[in-house]
Amino acid sequence: MVLIILRPFFIFKRKFLQDVMNLKYKRVLLKLSGESLMGQQGFGIDNNVLEFFSEEIQKAYKAGVEIGIVIGGGNIYRGLSATSQGIDRATGDQMGMLATVINALALQNSIEKRGIYTRLMSAINMEAIAEPYIRRRAIRHLEKKRVVIFGAGTGHPYFSTDTAASLRAVEINADVIVKGTRVDGVFDSDPEKNPNAFRFENISYLDVLKKNLRIMDLTAVSLCQENNLPMIVFNMDVKDNLLKLVMGEEIGTLINSGEKITKEV
């Protein structure tokens, strides 16, 4: 009787260990833009998009990936637009940080509804709704198989959430930082405006900076370059892309220290 009860457990455990062994990236930092949560609404949070993202994160989590997440706040408020409204840049950026916490809470709720334990850590103290960000505690949460969402950017004005994502990725010793976008990687021009835009399969940090490609904040790219942390830009809107990426499939564009730039076949 005991063997019958335990058999499904051991089958599940064996499958889990096999999945973990097949992973190329075992600890990742996922960067999502706030605008991606808008869907077709133009403002706020589209629940369908939120649920889709949570499902994709769940797939990677079940494969054994340790996941940290940084999400922007542009769907609610952008600090860069503050100056045009007569608000000084520092104050505007602080307002933007609060917007990221709103998105982080929404994502946390959506993920937890799927039975996954999460922790929301904020760079700005707000103990009633989030833990204060402490590097060692964040790493411990990941080791305990909790999804960790980092809110409020770096906690300082003049730094984007891209830079916050790179900083947190370096701090938690992530294997890679992956940026989910609505295009298939890094292009030499906007593929939504130019159908002949050239997609890079692989590009160096230096070339991203030289070409001013702006797929991520240049400070974020420089930080990854200094710490030799690979970055992958991919289309988060395609089903199973995140799972395929962590399993080692060539999804999106890899940004690393290599000088070789390969044209898409």
pLDDT number for residue 40: 85
Average pLDDT over every residue of 188-197: 89
Tens digit of pLDDT for each residue in 220-229?
999 999 999 9
- 138 within 8 A of 171, measured Cβ to Cβ: yes
Residue 21 confidence (pLDDT) above 70? no
Query: Which pLDDT does position 263 carry in this prediction?
Result: 43
Compute the distance between CA of residue 94 and CA of residue 76 in angstroms, rounded to an integer: 13
CATH of 23-263, picked from 3.40.50.970, 1.20.210.10, 3.40.1160.10, 3.40.50.150, is 3.40.1160.10
The radius of gyration of the chain from alpha carbons, rounded to an integer in Å, stands at 19
Alpha-carbon gap, residue 106 to 69, rounded angstroms: 13
Place of tokens 């199973």: 240
DSSP-derived secondary structure for 67-80: EEEEE--TTT--GG
CB neighbours (10 Å) of residue 104?
Answer: 24
Q: What are the beta bridge partners of residue 233?
A: 179, 253
Assign 82 a pLDDT band (cuts: 50, 70, 90): low
Poorest-confidence range of 82-86, 136-140, 196-200? 82-86
Asked if pLDDT for residue 43 goes beyond 50, the answer is yes
Query: Per-residue pLDDT averaged across 201-211, rounded?
Result: 94
**3 state SS for 221-240:** HHHHHHCCCCEEEEECCCCC
pLDDT tens sequence across 125-138: 999 999 999 999 99
Q: Look-up: residue for tokens 């790179």? A: 166
Distance CA 131, CA 239 (A): 31
Rounded Cα distance, 112 and 29, in Å = 18
Residue 19's pLDDT is what?
53
Report, as an integer, the average pLDDT of 103-108.
98
Share the mean pLDDT of the chain: 90
* Domain definitions of the chain by residue range: 23-263
Using DSSP's 3-state secondary structure scheme, residue 177 falls into strand
Q: What is the three-class DSSP state of 179?
A: strand
Average pLDDT over residues 178-182: 95
CB atoms within 10 A of CB 46: 17
